[in-house]
């Protein structure tokens, strides 16, 4: 009798029952881990809430005695840090962040004689190290601001180096002549008496130079000056708010500053009593940036509204803030916020491709100021609120953690964990208490996608090779970004989407714009067909543009425009952030493979035992053939 080795299915129904049960648990874990971790604190069944006070494991983000003045990667680890002023106003400190923790650590601080009002972070001298320009007053009743710079070396800030110029208003950063050096734009005086629109250049640390703008009117105080592409050619323009007959006039000039050609001018909507800071975003996702203007229609600000300018016309957004909810007056805010004009912050926190807003609003009934998240949605007309624009913004009343942050003086989007999901920072404080910066985690459970773009300067870094994480530049203003891809929208397949954005259109006045842009892609995980970036023009070329194709979603592309005059040779770095679905699927697959390997090992072991028993039986059998 010949022995034939066969595979046997052993009676292991008990094992397979447990195997299928474990596989079901793995599947549930893959699909539901995000829900359980992200909404563990949601004990009231409020599934629409996005922002949570906890950053997982009951960890919180909070910085005591901190008024944020600027954001930037100070220690060159590609993680954005916070430049703070203390409540007293005589100290600057830098709080560095870690993408693996919610704890910010103080890396350095500098004391200044006087009262600090604002600051702008940028690489002013072209050494790839972030510096800080500070606006301060030696006396509270002083007319104008003194200015001084703190040179950075990624570890410390230098002592204050005052400029010899006086500033009538808070300046903004820009690249006026397209050479990658960052300048300041504002109303400046060389004799402490006469103020003129001018740019301040910092190429040489020892000698600062001023260049007057060829503009007869004054730059309006407490208004927006920005570098942003408003003629839709992906080349930064200069947006100015001028003071003409005690009223604002908006003008757009084509850069560089050497040519300074007027492109367009227009007036604000009629009947406005108080103008707040302008901002710019592609709120209707048509590939063109719009001018957004929050205003008050009366001096008490009881009627707060937001206008958007598109197709050379103003449109009133039909936003229902609620009864007794309005923009606060500056005199209702504690110092130094009472010296800073109000601004709304814009970012796509839910990554659906339509930028949202957050604003600090005053509730008349309680007398407190709270942050209110305004979600970008399609406008749907009704009898009481007809649509004047195709988009509007809806206050998110279910954000209970956010609305509980009373005595709020500022709210801004910020990616605490550097994962592409924008969290929210809220500044709380009053006249009788120190300011405190607290964070709320973006707890989106949908597997939405994004593309993160950062366009930096051309300057090289000699110490990069000796660092574990390479620094890729510092706070370059006015870079243009445009994304084009194919997706499914409103049931339409192969829908071609175009989204425009600007990197750091303005600084100062606590606008707190981030040194990168995050563009939401929604839930479609397709490759991004095109990413086009443009840098401010110079005298040699007025169109420095590069297009990248087939970009991976949930990734960050860092564009190094070097050599500056040859866009086809620009360098780029791609950093991929796996989506939650990929991570959970990978975990489930890994667990399944481990279980299968264990099952095969057990079956193999039992097969071996059975073979050994058969060999023993066969060895003890009487073989008649041997006779």
pLDDT at 295: 98
pLDDT at 110 (0 to 100):
96
**Residue 328 predicted with pLDDT over 90:** yes
Span 427-443, average pLDDT? 90
Res. 31: pLDDT tops 50: no
As a whole number, mean pLDDT of residues 372-378 equals 96
Structure tokens at 520: 């939401």
Number of H helices, E strands in the chain: 3, 40
Predicted local confidence at residue 176, as pLDDT? 94
d(CA 566, CA 55): 44
CA distance 595 to 585: 15
User: What average pLDDT score do residues 605-616 get?
Assistant: 87
Q: What is the mean pLDDT of residues 144-171?
A: 94
Which residues, at least 6 apart from 492, have a Cβ–Cβ distance to it below 8 Å? none
Confidence of residue 17 (pLDDT cuts 50, 70, 90): very low
Weakest mean pLDDT among 3-17, 292-306, 481-495, 594-608: 3-17
Q: What is the pLDDT of residues 219-246, one digit of tens each?
A: 999 999 999 999 999 999 999 999 999 9
Residue 596 has pLDDT above 70, yes or no: yes
151-161 mean pLDDT: 94
Going 344 to 349 to 350 to 355, the CA torsion angle's sign is: positive
Q: What is the mean pLDDT of the chain?
A: 86
pLDDT for res 1: 36
Helix axes 13-38, 580-620, angle to 10 degrees: 160
pLDDT at 579 over 70: no
Fold of 61-440: Methylamine Dehydrogenase; Chain H (2.130.10)
Q: Identify the residue with better confidence: 116 or 472.
A: 116
Name the token pair of 177. 């002549």
* Residue 585: pLDDT over 90: no
Alpha-carbon span 389 to 626, nearest angstrom:
100
Which positions ≥6 away from 13 have C-beta within 8 Å?
A: none
**Across 296-313, average pLDDT:** 96
Model confidence at 42: pLDDT above 50: no
Residue 5: pLDDT band by 50, 70, 90 thresholds? very low
- Pair 296, 274: CB distance under 8 Å: yes
Of 208, 237, 233, 165, give the one whose Cα is nearest residue 477.
237
**Phi, psi (degrees; rounded to nearest 5) at 610:** -65, -40
Among 191-205, 363-377, 384-398, 459-473, which stretch is predicted with the lowest mean pLDDT?
459-473
How far, in Å, CA of 28 to CA of 438, rounded? 34
State the pLDDT at residue 22: 42
Tokens, residue 433: 């208490």
Assess whether pLDDT exceeds 90 at residue 376: yes
Measure the CA–CA gap between 98 and 61, rounded to whole angstroms: 11
Q: Characterize 538-573 residue by residue with b for buried, 16 or more Cβ atoms within 10 angstroms of its Cβ, and e for exposed.
A: beebeebbbebeebebbbbbbbbbbebeebeebebe
293: left (phi over 0), alpha (psi -120 to 50) or beta: beta
- pLDDT band (50, 70, 90) for residue 616: confident
- Assess whether pLDDT exceeds 70 at residue 471: no
Is residue 67 within 8 A of residue 87, CB to CB? The reply is yes
Report yes or no: 476 and 180 within 8 Å, Cβ to Cβ.
yes
* pLDDT surpassing 80 at residue 504: yes
Nearest of 588, 602, 538 to residue 564 by alpha carbon: 538
DSSP track, 559-624: EE--STT-GGG-EEEEEE---HHHHHHHHHHHHHHHHHHHHHHHHHHHHHHHHHHHHHHHHHS--G
* 479-489: strand order across its sheet: 492-503, 479-489, 528-535, 544-551
Residue 338: burial class (beta carbons within 10 Å; 0-12, 13-18, 19+): middle
Hey, what are 59's tokens?
């960890």
pLDDT range class, residue 287, cuts 50, 70, 90: very high
pLDDT digits (tens, 9 = 90+) for 57-73: 788 999 999 999 999 99
Contact in structure between 443 and 38 (CB atoms under 8 Å): yes
13 torsion bin: left (phi>0), alpha (psi -120 to 50), beta (else): alpha
Average pLDDT over every residue of 414-437: 90
Q: Which residue has the higher pLDDT, 344 or 381?
A: 344
First-residue to last-residue Cα distance in the chain:
15
DSSP string, 386-420: --SSSEEEEE-TT-HHHHT--SEEEEEEE-TTSSS
8 Å CB contact between 503 and 483: no
Percent of residues, the chain, with pLDDT higher than 90:
66
Q: So what's the pLDDT on residue 479?
A: 96
SS3 category, 484? strand
pTM: 0.85
| CA 527/CA 555 separation, integer angstroms | 11
Average pLDDT for residues 94-104, to the nearest whole number?
87
Size of the chain, expressed as the number of residues it contains: 627
Average pLDDT for residues 298-323, to the nearest whole number? 95
Higher pLDDT, 3 or 584: 584
- The model's pLDDT over 534-543, given as tens digits with 9 standing for 90+, comes to 999 999 998 9
Q: What is the pLDDT of residue 470?
A: 57
SS3 112: coil
Region 177-206: mean pLDDT is 92
In 3-state terms, what secondary structure has residue 288? coil
Instruction: Specify the pLDDT at position 449.
Output: 87
Boundaries of every domain in the chain: 61-440, 449-580
């Amino acid at each position: 009798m010949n022995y034939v080795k066969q595979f046997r299915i052993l009676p292991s129904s008990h094992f397979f029952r447990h195997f299928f049960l474990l596989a079901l648990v793995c599947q549930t874990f893959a699909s539901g881990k995000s829900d359980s971790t992200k909404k563990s604190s949601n004990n009231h069944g409020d599934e629409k809430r996005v922002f949570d006070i906890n950053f997982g494991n009951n960890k919180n983000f909070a910085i005591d005695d901190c008024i944020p003045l600027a954001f930037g990667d100070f220690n060159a680890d590609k993680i954005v840090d916070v430049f703070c002023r203390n409540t007293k106003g005589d100290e600057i400190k830098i709080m560095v962040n870690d993408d693996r923790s919610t704890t910010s650590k103080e890396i350095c601080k500098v004391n200044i004689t006087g009262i600090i009002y604002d600051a702008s972070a940028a690489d002013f001298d072209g050494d790839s190290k972030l510096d800080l320009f500070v606006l301060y007053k030696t006396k509270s009743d002083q007319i104008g601001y003194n200015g001084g710079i703190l040179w950075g070396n990624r570890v410390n800030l230098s002592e204050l180096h005052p400029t010899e110029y006086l500033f009538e208003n808070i300046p903004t950063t820009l690249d006026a002549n397209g050479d990658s050096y960052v300048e300041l734009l504002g109303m400046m005086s060389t004799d402490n008496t006469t103020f003129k629109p001018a740019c301040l250049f910092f190429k040489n640390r020892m000698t600062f130079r001023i260049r007057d703008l060829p503009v007869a009117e004054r730059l309006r105080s407490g208004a927006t000056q920005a570098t942003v592409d408003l003629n839709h050619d992906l080349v930064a323009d200069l947006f100015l708010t001028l003071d003409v007959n005690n009223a604002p006039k908006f003008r757009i000039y084509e850069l560089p500053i050497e040519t300074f050609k007027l492109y367009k001018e227009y007036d604000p909507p009629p009947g406005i009593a108080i103008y707040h800071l302008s901002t710019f975003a592609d709120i209707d996702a048509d590939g063109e940036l719009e001018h957004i203007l929050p205003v008050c229609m009366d001096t008490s600000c009881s009627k707060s509204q937001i206008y958007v300018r598109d197709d050379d016309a103003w449109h009133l957004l039909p936003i229902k803030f609620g009864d007794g909810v309005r923009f606060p007056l500056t005199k209702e805010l504690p110092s130094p916020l009472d010296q800073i004009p109000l601004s709304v912050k814009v970012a796509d926190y839910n990554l659906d491709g339509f930028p949202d807003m957050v604003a600090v609003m005053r509730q008349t009934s309680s007398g407190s100021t709270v942050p209110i998240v305004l979600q970008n949605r399609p406008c749907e007309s009704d009898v009481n609120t007809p649509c004047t624009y195709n988009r509007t913004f809806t206050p998110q009343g279910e954000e209970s953690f956010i609305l509980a942050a009373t005595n709020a003086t500022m709210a801004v989007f910020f990616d605490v964990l550097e994962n592409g999901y924008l969290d929210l920072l809220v500044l709380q404080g009053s006249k009788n208490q120190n300011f405190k910066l607290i964070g709320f985690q973006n707890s989106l459970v949908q597997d939405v996608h994004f593309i993160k773009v950062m366009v930096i300067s051309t300057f090289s870094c000699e110490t990069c090779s000796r660092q574990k994480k390479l620094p890729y530049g510092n706070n370059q203003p006015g870079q243009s970004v445009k994304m084009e891809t194919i997706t499914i929208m409103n049931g339409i397949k192969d829908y071609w989407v175009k989204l425009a954005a600007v990197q750091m259109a303005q600084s100062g006045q606590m606008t707190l714009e981030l040194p990168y842009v995050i563009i939401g892609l929604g839930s479609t995980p397709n490759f991004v067909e095109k990413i086009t970036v443009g840098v401010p023009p110079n005298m040699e070329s007025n169109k420095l543009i590069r297009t990248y194709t087939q970009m991976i979603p949930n990734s960050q592309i860092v564009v190094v425009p070097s050599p500056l005059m040859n866009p086809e040779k620009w360098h780029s770095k791609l950093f991929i952030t796996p989506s939650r679905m990929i991570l959970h699927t990978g975990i489930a697959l890994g667990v399944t493979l481990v279980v299968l390997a264990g099952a095969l090992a057990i079956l193999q072991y039992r097969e071996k035992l059975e073979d050994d028993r058969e060999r023993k039986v066969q060895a003890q059998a009487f073989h008649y053939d041997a006779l």
